[in-house]
Amino acid sequence: MEAKTWWRKCMAPMKKPKKTMKVYSPADVTGSFTNQLMTLLVMPRRVRSQINTIASLVADLVRSYIPVSAFHREVSLTGLLGNLHEWPLVVIQTCPATSRVIVGGLNTPLIVIDEGSSEPRWLCGPTWKSNGLPKYNSQFNSARITSIDISDTGVILFSTYCTVQADDPDLDPRGLYAVDLDSKAHKLRIVEDGNRVSLLHCDITLAPDGRSLYIVQAGSTFQPALFFEVEFDESNLDQLFKVKKKISVDAPPANYSIIFLKDDLFLLMSTRHGGSEAVFLNAATGDCVKVPLNMDILGFTKCRDNSLLLHSIDQIRVTSKQTFLESISEGKLKERLQVQSHKLYQKDILIDLPLLCYDSRNQQIITDTGARVLSWIDVY
């Protein structure tokens, strides 16, 4: 196959050598306190976290105020996807237990990249059926992975959407699926007042204790966005899961991403060009507060130390969760971020649906930096 590129927003940039920093090992941390500190400051967090000394604690403190990042490695998906360059990948997540990276998109079942591996593979096979979706009729055209979340033990949850409808809920390809620790796929069955619930285009996140699943379903001109709290038990994925709470979101119809903040407070984000929008939802009362951001945030995810990673047009920036929430409530997000956020990475390409996730285990950023190329970025 001849070499092809996949630049959705700009011309292909000139090839540049990847700049990497020397990765020191714990054995290199020797000498005086000053020498140890200087070595630890240029050591990735994934390595520095193995060292429990005063110098390491001081280095962590310094880097919390002056974070830096550097390219670590990359993996190309072209060999697996072949000619599917026109089908975008839109969601990415990393496993907190194994650091495996899971990627999904349009017309592509889940792709997994194991820790340290350079060979991507299909999670449960290259077909939708092998990933738990029912066998379709001839009218089936495409499906899209809209959201991924992974439990602390490694159970993978994902949601799908397509234009196919089925009268039988078990034959409807839209909905939520789970892949257990034995790599067996299950379609989750959700009921409300004894009736099966059909979920359309939605985003999902697990509760911190893993006993509830929070879902926000996209709104349309015909119905508002909906918030669901659903019981969840990863030890029995074939049972009926009951809806514990359902809220009609008083916000403009859009596709929302959901982040659990604290207690019953959720942040719903509509990320798009031309000005993203944030909605604070109090699940206890059902109250919504809408805040226009007046800037482009194309992706965001939780980072370590109560901070957030934000993906603008071509930058990945880090800011504290408190700064982000306060700046939104004040209506001065752009002004606050100019002085209270830090640029961690600058991209050479523009992608309208960039991939972004954070590996809290190895403390690395994973993002797309080329045509079907994922890069691992060390945070120092």
Per residue in 73-108, pLDDT (tens digit) is: 999 998 888 776 678 888 999 999 999 999 998 888
Mean pLDDT across the stretch 293-307?
79
Q: What pLDDT score does 172 carry? A: 82
In this structure, of 8-22, 25-39, 248-262, the range with the lowest mean pLDDT score is 8-22
**pLDDT of amino acid 377:** 94
- Is the residue at 131 inside a domain? yes
Whether 123 and 264 map to the same domain: the answer is yes
List CB contacts of 26: < 8 A, sequence separation 6 or more: 47, 50, 51
pLDDT tens, position by position, 118-156? 999 999 988 888 888 887 655 556 788 999 999 999 999
* Residue 2, domain member (yes or no): no
Q: Do 60 and 75 fall into the same domain? A: no
Domain, as residue range, for 36? 22-66
pLDDT surpassing 60 at residue 319: yes
Asked which of 22-31, 261-270, 366-375 is least confident by mean pLDDT, the reply is 261-270
DSSP-assigned states of every residue in 18-71: PP------GGG--SSHHHHHHHHHTS-HHHHTT--SHHHHHHHHHHHHS--EEE
φ, ψ at 367 (rounded to 5°):
-150, 170
Determine phi and psi for 71, rounding to 5 degrees: -60, 135
The reply to whether 131 and 52 lie within a common domain is no
Residue 9 has pLDDT above 90, yes or no: no
Per-residue confidence (pLDDT) for residue 263, from 0 to 100: 82
pLDDT at 141: 60
Q: Average of pLDDT values for 243-260?
A: 86
Give the end of a domain, one of 12, 45, 66. Answer: 66
Residue 259: the pLDDT is 85
Structurally, the chain folds into a number of domains equal to: 2
User: Would the pTM of this model clear 0.85, i.e. be above it?
Assistant: yes
Q: What average pLDDT does range 338-351 have in this prediction?
A: 85
User: In angstroms, rounded to a whole number, what is the distance separating the alpha carbons of residues 295 and 291?
Assistant: 12
**Same domain membership, residue 82 and residue 55:** no
CA 171 vs CA 62, 210, 227, 326, 353: distances in Å: 55, 27, 24, 45, 30
pLDDT at 272 over 60: no
4 part of a folded domain: no
In a domain, 3, yes or no: no
Question: Regarding predicted confidence, which is higher, 225 or 306?
Answer: 225
Domain-located, residue 7: no
Residue 8 has pLDDT above 80, yes or no: no
Give the other-Cβ count within 10 Å of 318's Cβ: 21
Tell me whether residue 16 is in a domain: no
Q: Do 156 and 264 belong to one domain?
A: yes
Task: Say if residue 29 is in the same domain as residue 136.
Answer: no
pLDDT range class, residue 10, cuts 50, 70, 90 = low
Are residues 100 and 208 both part of a single domain? yes
Residues 84 and 61 in one domain: no
User: Mean pLDDT score of the chain, rounded to an integer?
Assistant: 86
Mean pLDDT for 18-39 is 88
pLDDT-above-70 percentage for the chain: 91
Q: Is it the case that residue 6 has pLDDT exceeding 70?
A: no
pLDDT at 242 over 90: yes
Q: Which of 251-265, 326-340, 362-376 holds the top average pLDDT?
A: 362-376
Look up residue 174 and give its amino acid.
R
197 within domain boundaries: yes
Q: Is residue 14 part of a domain?
A: no
CA distance 62 to 116: 28
The residue-averaged pLDDT of 246-268 equals 84
Decide if pLDDT at 229 tops 90. yes
pLDDT at 2 over 50: no
141 and 34, same structural domain? no
Is the per-residue pLDDT at 51 higher than 70? Answer: yes
CATH for 201: 2.130.10.10
pLDDT digits (tens, 9 = 90+) for 170-202: 888 888 999 999 999 999 999 998 888 888 889
Residue 341 reports pLDDT greater than 80: yes
Q: Looking at the structure, tell me whether residues 58 and 76 fall in a common domain.
A: no
Considering the domain architecture, whether residues 100 and 235 belong to the same structural domain is answered as yes
Residues 97, 36, single domain; the answer is no
